[in-house]
Amino acid sequence: MDLKQLNAFIAVADLRSFSAAATKTGLSQPSLSRLLKQLETDIGVVLIDRYHRPLHLTEAGSFFYDKISTILTEIETVTSMTQRLSAPSTALNIGFVPSVLYGLLPEIIAKLKQSNPDIEVNLKDISSYQQMEALKSGDIDVGFGRFAHQDPWIQQILLRHERYVVALPKSHPLAYVEEQRLIDLANNRLILYHQTHLPIAATVTPSAHARSYSDNTQLDKPIRADAGEQLASNKPITEPLLHLFAQYGISPYMTTTVSDLQVALGLVAAGEGITLVPASLKTVRTEQISYQRLVHENVTSPIYLHTLKDFVHPSISNLLSAIYQVYEQRGITYRPQKFVSQA
């Protein structure tokens, strides 16, 4: 069994076609077929049912595919990391979620460049979930995200917790109430925008006392998550904003799900509902939107910094130093941390 055979099998299994797999791998169909036959002979198991179109994996083939795909991904990750260790890039590629860009990130990058004028910084807008794969592939060296991730290849540190504020249309009756409670917001349409959901281990399971408005959700025409129905069941709440309400046993009257935070704020500006955003976004669309503080101290959005466990880019320590300098200048409470290099 060798890598050529395994990659041939993965290509056929993914595409369900010898001709398409041959095109993808750059091999001739006879060569591809021969590699796959050698693999099956080596392990003594038929992996592909060749008598169906499109091709099907046998039961043993499906099992083998699931296991070997993970191993090949790890091999690719190790290969990429080894190449970076032997010839580390001088540039620092930083991934970030859009909400971080509205906060202190521009100030942090300016501080980093001021202290290290020779450093080259590349910024990439990329979701928290996608950052995990981008770190492994080498597309980014470090990422700013909003979610904790459990990944054996990744290490992360918590930078700080950022308070949420409520974003309301300026015509809303509560638009100028300076201290807001979630219970008073529950009768509104809540606009959801997170594409990454919380891990099951970190979610709230609804209690029998959860306040639910599921009977009214038929009034909601746009795409929605039926929050009331979810709270009434025993399903964990994984959507981040619904999770915040669920901590207090509250379910919003109705919800609408949109593709990203900017769209959510656009709908708020148009008077189509309310949403919760990290406080750093309260300068966006201020002509149409009123941002007000929430009284709940634990209604926060964490900011994480993550990188690989086995390869820490040499400029990341400078980045952390710039972050903490900005925090000190802004009077932000933080606990200094650093990444551990295991290379």
- Which tens digit of pLDDT belongs to each residue from 8-35? 889 888 888 888 888 888 889 899 889 9
pLDDT the model gives residue 340: 84
Tokens at 324, concatenated:
């903490």
Torsion-angle region of 72 (φ positive above 0: left; ψ -120 to 50: alpha; else: beta): alpha
C-alpha to C-alpha distance for 173 and 77, rounded to whole angstroms: 53
pLDDT the model gives residue 213: 36
C-alpha to C-alpha distance for 209 and 180, rounded to whole angstroms: 22
Full set of structural domains in the chain with CATH: 3-84 (1.10.10.10), 91-155+303-330 (3.40.190.10), 162-301 (3.40.190.10)
Q: pLDDT (tens digit, 9 = 90+) per residue, 97-142?
A: 988 988 899 999 999 999 999 999 999 999 888 999 899 888 999 9
Q: pLDDT (tens digit, 9 = 90+) per residue, 179-233?
A: 999 999 999 999 999 888 887 655 655 543 333 333 333 333 333 334 445 444 5
Tokens at 127, concatenated:
């979701």
pLDDT the model gives residue 82: 77
335 or 78: which carries more pLDDT confidence? 335
* Mean of pLDDT over the chain: 85
In b/e form, how buried is each residue of 229-249, taking b as 16+ CB within 10 angstroms? ebbeeeebbbbbbbbbbbebb
